[in-house]
Chain A
Amino acid sequence: MSRWGTYPKENHALADLRLSTPARVGVGRAGLRPGTQSWLKFRQDHAMAKDAVSGEFSESLLDYVREQSFELVQTQASNKLDFIAYPPKGKCTHPNTLERLKSSCASNLDVQIVVCDGLSSQAIEDNLRDILPMMIDGFKLEGITCSVPIVVKYGRVAVADQIAHALGMKLALNLIGERPGLSTPGSMSAYLTYNPSPSTISSDRTVVSNIHALGTLPVEAGAHIVQIAKRILNLKMSGVKLQQSYTS
């Protein structure tokens, strides 16, 4: 600690507060700026967030995808920069890709699982291998049919609706990397749309967010999502309507 540093007095309350949040609280300052340690930590977290956005799926994840014989496709974005600069490109795949999927994948089942890098390929790396087996087991247990998951490079939320619609699935389920923050670069969301179609809008989607090791655990989220999917299929509704069904 340097002689210019100003640090808060340590006590129980501050220690409890620090434990309660990943936010930068009680880090002190040096003059008008943060201390060197906390500044470096901030830079590090920021760099990790940027890496999560610009990073591609790793070889190890792609190996897993091949090993499990999942489908791997790409949206209309030709590379990461294209994807970030032209957001609409991430919402759909090429018509040929769809045709290929139609010929190689099962159709007219209950659920289509889609996995997208979104804004954090890191989130998929971190969580997919825990959440997916839970969901596949759970669907089997509940008698809900689903086909092989489709992994999408440069994908956004809506791409799952397009694919599930093309395959005639009742429910689109998109596991997608969230826009990273400064406390975790690897948080994932799951979006569920009943009866997805080109006219699907955001309020039609049910979302479970904050899935990562320090948020909702991926295994727990997996089992929870199965229950939500079951409810959606029973009530034939998702999104805001589903939310309202809990209170009525």
Chain B
Amino acid sequence: MSIKPILSVGIDVGTTSTHLTINRLFLSNLSRAAEPERVVINRREKFYESPVRLTPLCEDGSINADAIFSFLEEQYQLANLKPSDIVSGAIIVTDETAKIRNAEIVAERVSSLAGQFVVASAGPNFESVLAGRGSGAADHSKIQHKVVCNIDIGGGTTNIAIFKNGLVTSTAAIALGGRMLCLSDDLKVLKFSESGRIARDNAGLSFQPGERISSAAAKQIAAYASKCMVDMLSISDYVHPLLVTPPLRMDEQIDEFWFSGGVAEIMAAASPIQSDTEYGDLGVFLARALVNELKARRIEFLIPEHPIRATVLGAGIHSLQLSGSTVSVTEGALPLRNLPVLRLPLPSSTGCSEPPSVDDFLSMMSTALKNQDLDWRLTCIALSAPYVPRVGCAVVRSWAELFARSYLQFGAQGPLVVVCTNDVASALGQALRSKLAEVPIVCLDGIDDEYLGDFMDIGCPLTGGIAIPVIVKNLVFAPSGVHPSRAAWAHG
């Protein structure tokens, strides 16, 4: 059965650069005859790629929203596309950029350009995962059966993700990047970030913005940053004040290190460097220092093709997941957007056999809701249920009982949304419908939401209802009632 390909966009509004990539995704049905459909994205083709521009800033340091908007609009015209042609994708406004005052307005304006199912999203863990998928590290780990660590170094942050067998095992991000120091051509410090200040203090230097520094001082700062990064890659649970996520957990020996992002572009020296301050920041120094540090420690590394495009490729291609085909969705309940994801501290199904008692479950639920400041009476919530195992009828019914009881207990309104990892959604959904006749039920499986974020968009079923597109994401600018920093931290 042939399925219509879909167009997907990735837009990266970074601390340093802004660009977009549009891809065509080909879907195919993997199931053998007489098995339920299993739809996957099996091929992707570059449809259009914009040039990389420096992110336009206004005098006061805010992002020039008009300039970005017209740049993107122009790119759509060049690609000969209307925003409505785009089905899926993501806009990545990196964490550092998001701190800029008007970032939210920018994201909102840009998302209007990006089609029906595009999300303005970011969050450090999510970015780490997208960069690792976009660079090819994730696929490589699957094909070569290796543990691959992808390090994406941009202007504001360094995002790290470890992949095994194509799956994420750990992520972290640290606020180190090319824009630690903004430098003029004569090495005058135009401005430095918090990380720049910490690196300066650690390097025993004491310059202020506006002063000129020596090339040696710039090198010293870059060396400090590289040392932190490589330490992070060598020591499990390495702690540093600049970490913006919980520390990086290393369960296993890493077979390969991959570098992506703007700084990796310089490390690979893909384009000849014109001057040390070509990008108006510490990037070139950082790239060199990092190569030296890695060599000194005898760590071999690899830089994929087009490293700067990793995040945008990841955003455009890999942010979308497709559910299994045997799911249970009440007609008209979709699409749903910006659902907060509720996770319970239950072991995932591999280690768990019996469902908890109703009382235990309700109290767990109540704690989790309280921790995330969620009120089920006001917001529709996606229950992430990787703990529902592949089992028989009786156990599926008891899980359904638990979810239905909680729905009633907490006075929930709107659809009941349960997202499983294992292929049980059709059964669970049916059991839920028989318990909650009046409530719209959305029960999906085949979705892995770990590490990806704390909010979920669930789209309308694809042609023929064979799969449902899901994006798990973070919101930098959380909808009212949810504390943004908590949203970014909740999953560690």
Contacts and interface: CB of A to CB of B under 8 A. Distances in A.
B35 interface: yes
Interface stretch (A53-61, A100-108, A210-218): A210-218
Nearest to B445: A220
Given A11-B145, A247-B1, A220 B392 contact: no
A219 B434 contact: no
A216 B430 contact: no
Contacts of B434: 137, 140-141
A246 B396 contact: no
Contacts of A207: 34
A246 B1 contact: yes
Interface stretch (A41-49, A143-151, A222-230): A222-230
A97 to B, nearest CB: 29
A189 interface: yes
A223 B145 contact: no
Contacts of B335: none
Contacts of B464: 246-247
Which of B33, B145, B146: most chain A CB closer than 10 A?
Answer: B145
B466 interface: yes
A12 B36 contact: no
Given A129-B393, A219-B393, A223-B328, A210 B427 contact: no
A209 interface: yes
A138 interface: yes
B479 to A, nearest CB: 33
Interface in B427-452: 427, 429-431, 433-434
Contacts of B430: 134, 137-138, 141, 223, 226
Contacts of B328: 223
A134 B427 contact: yes
Interface residues of A, number: 32
A133 B426 contact: no
A208 interface: yes
B114 interface: no
B295 interface: no
A13 interface: yes
A99 B426 CA distance: 37
Interface string B378-402: 0000000000001111001000000
Contacts of A82: none
B326 interface: yes
A209 B34 CA distance: 5
Contacts of A213: 390
Interface string A190-205: 0000000000000000
Q: Which 8 A-B pairs have the closest CB atoms?
A: A223-B426, A13-B145, A219-B427, A12-B145, A209-B34, A223-B430, A207-B34, A224-B326
Interface of A: 11-13, 15-16, 129-131, 133-134, 137-138, 140-141, 189, 207-210, 213, 216-220, 222-224, 226-227, 246-247
Interface of B: 1-2, 33-36, 144-146, 165, 326, 328, 390-393, 396, 423-427, 429-431, 433-434, 464, 466
19 contacts: A15-B145, A134-B430, A137-B431, A141-B434, A189-B34, A209-B34, A216-B423, A218-B393, A219-B424, A219-B427, A220-B425, A222-B393, A223-B328, A223-B427, A223-B429, A224-B36, A226-B430, A227-B326, A227-B426
Given A137-B431, A208-B35, A218-B393, 10 more contacts: A16-B145, A129-B392, A133-B393, A134-B427, A140-B434, A141-B433, A189-B34, A219-B392, A219-B424, A222-B427
